[in-house]
Amino acid sequence: MRLDQFLKESRIIKRRTLAKQMCDEGFVFVNGKQAKPSYEVKIGDEIEIYFKQKKMKYAVLGIPNKGTRKNIASNYYTLIGEEYYE
């Protein structure tokens, strides 16, 4: 599954267009490397996302199907850490 679609389906980022834009602008890293929105996500990948005031780090536990329900979306990743900055 594409990175931008994974971020949307897992509900880490609300919209796919926003996920794609964040990847294009260099705010998303996979396994320590800047990632393109077309990157194929694999189980075990570590995703870092730089938001305005914090950095979030996730580990991929599974690949969701398209149209994943909200109540099970968080089963596909785990939060490794978050760091706030100014």
| pLDDT band (50, 70, 90) for residue 50 | very high
The rounded Cα 53 to chain-centroid distance in angstroms is 17
Name the maximum alpha-carbon separation found in the chain.
36
**13-29: pLDDT as tens digits:** 999 999 999 999 999 99
pTM metric for this prediction:
0.91
Would you give the DSSP letter of residue 9? H
pLDDT tens-digit series, residues 28-37? 999 999 999 9
d(CA 53, CA 49): 11
Give all domains of the chain, ordered by start, each with its CATH number.
Answer: 3-84 (3.10.290.10)
- Helices in 1-86 by DSSP H: which ranges? 3-9, 16-24
